Chains A and B, each alone.
Chain A
Amino acid sequence: MDKDTPRAHHDMGGAAKFMCEAVDTAPHGLTDFDKQVDAIRGILGAKQIMTVDELRRGIESIPEAEYHRLSYYRRWIRSITAILLEKGVITEAELRAALEAG
């Protein structure tokens, strides 16, 4: 079934383009970056500011090429940022100021 369906690019079960992709089964520890992003998502969830469903929706809306280029937790930070901006939890001005100060 590789019929011409409008399969979303994150909906990857059986996707032909990845059927020959080798799997790196070696253990890879999480970096500090990874753990911080993960923790922030958890805190936002626990405080009911952002759900895991919103996180997923944000990740799924990353354009296909970027989705595959970005590492797992870079997708997360991009989604978290987009969702928080969308919901007005943070403003673009605040974020720009922090980026410039950083």
Chain B
Amino acid sequence: MMFDAGANVRVKDDWPESRGPVHIRTPHYVRGMQGTVLRRLGAFPNPEDLAFARPAPVRALYHVRFDQPAIWQEGHAGDEVVVEIFEHWLEPA
């Protein structure tokens, strides 16, 4: 999926870890959370496949900003966490 800078997105609330051996680079703490795309960082082979020496399709990588206090219901208003997230983990919010 293509996202413009400024797009509101949600990280899929998916837990592949519970289904078998995987290698996931989307941290647990953003799964299911809403964020804003800062920019597209480029496109890279999917690490989830590289980790198992499988053919790895190239996927768009986005820099996504999350409101920090919203993640754990604690923190300093205005602070943010920015995470590199692959397109297949994002959906429009």
* Interface of A toward B, CB cutoff 8 Å: 1, 5-8, 11, 13-14, 51, 53-54, 56-57, 60-61, 87
Which residue of chain A has its CB nearest to the CB of B19? A6
Q: Judging by beta carbons under 8 Å apart, are A13 and B28 in contact?
A: yes
The B interface, classified by DSSP as helix, strand, loop or mixed, is: loop
Q: Which of B1-9, B47-55, B57-65, B84-92 contacts A (4 or more CB under 8 A)?
A: B47-55
Is B17's CB within 8 Å of the partner chain A? yes
The A interface, classified by DSSP as helix, strand, loop or mixed, is: loop
* Interface of B toward A, CB cutoff 8 Å: 15, 17-18, 21, 23-24, 27-29, 31, 47, 50-53, 71-73
Q: A84 → chain B, closest Cβ, in Å? A: 12
Residues of A within 8 A of B24 (CB): 8, 11
| Extra contacts besides A13-B29, A14-B29 (16): CB < 8 Å | A5-B15, A5-B28, A6-B15, A6-B17, A7-B17, A7-B28, A8-B17, A13-B28, A51-B50, A51-B53, A54-B50, A56-B51, A57-B51, A57-B52, A60-B23, A87-B53
Residues of B within 8 A of A56 (CB): 23, 47, 51
Given A11-B27, A11-B28, A13-B28, decide whether A54 and B71 contact each other with a Cβ distance below 8 A.
Answer: no
Q: Judging by beta carbons under 8 Å apart, are B28 and A54 in contact?
A: no
The distance in angstroms between the C-alpha atoms of A53 and B45, with both chains bound, is 11
The distance in angstroms between the C-alpha atoms of A56 and B27, with both chains bound, is 14
Q: Judging by beta carbons under 8 Å apart, are A5 and B47 in contact?
A: no
Q: Judging by beta carbons under 8 Å apart, are A54 and B72 in contact?
A: no
Residues of B within 8 A of A13 (CB): 27-29
Which residue of chain B has its CB nearest to the CB of A54? B51
Residues of B within 8 A of A57 (CB): 23, 51-52
